[in-house]
Amino acid sequence: MVNIMIVEDEKPISNLIALSLKKVGYHCECAYDGLSAIDMIEKKYPDLILLDIMLPGADGFEILEYVKPLDIPVIFLTAKGELSDKVNGLRLGAEDYIVKPFEIMELLARIEVVLRRYKKLDRMIRILGLEIDTDSRTVLKDGVYINLTKKEYDILLLFARNPGSVLFREMIYDRVWGGDYIPGSRTVDLHVQRVRKKVGWENYLISVPKMGYRLEVAK
C-alpha cells in the first residue's frame, strides 16, 4: 500500500485530506509542524509527501531541501499562490505545486501522476483471478485476453487499485470521464455492470446503496 505523509499545521485540512486519501486506498501519516515532519520522514520514509510551506519549526522549503537526497517526491499544498513562490518551489525540486483552496479530485489525480512518474504504483496488478498490465493496458483472466473499452479498463483499474474501499459514483465519474457527475445519471452504473460481467466479478464488485461500489476481496 502506498504511504503518503501529509505535513499541514491546520488539523481540519489535514484530516480532510487524510480521510479522502484513505477512501481510495492510500495509507496516511500526518505531521503538524516542520520538525515533527523531519523526524517522521526519517522513521517512516513515505512514498510521497504533501507539504505545506508555512509551518512552525521548519518551513516547507527547508523540509524540501532535507528530502531531496532521499528521492521522495513532494507536492506542495499551500496558500502561497504568487507565481514567484510556485516557481521557487518547482525549482527547488517539488513535483507539483497546488494552491489552496483546491478540489480533492484534482489532488487525487495529481498524486496518481506523481506516483506513476516515480513508479510507486505497481505495473502488474494481480487480483481475483485477473492480471492487469498497467503499461500495456491489457487484462488477462486465466491467460485469456479480456477485451475492454478504454473507460471500462479505467474503471477496472480504479477498483483494482482500491480494493475494499467504497468508490463514490461522483469520484468514479470524475476520474474516468472528467467533469461533474449528474445526480440520477446511469452512466457509471451501466459501465460498472459491463465491467463486472466481462471480468466475472459479479460476486465481488458490489453496490453500496446511495453511495457507489466496493470491490470486496475478502469473501
pLDDT grade for 218, boundaries at 50, 70 and 90: low
Q: What are the backbone dihedrals phi and psi of residue 20, each rounded to the nearest 5 degrees, phi first?
A: -65, -40
Per-residue pLDDT at 48 exceeds 90 = yes
Q: pLDDT by residue (tens digit) across 146-195?
A: 999 999 999 999 898 888 888 888 888 888 887 777 887 899 999 999 99
Q: What is the pLDDT of residue 122?
A: 65
Domains of the chain: 3-117 (3.40.50.2300), 124-215 (1.10.10.10)
- Amino acid identity at 97: Y
Is the Cβ–Cβ distance between 63 and 34 less than 8 Å? yes
Interacting residues of 155 by C-beta distance below 8 A, sequence separation 6+: 172, 176, 191, 192, 195
Q: In whole angstroms, what separates CA 197 from the centre of its chain? A: 26
pLDDT reading at 35 higher than 70: yes
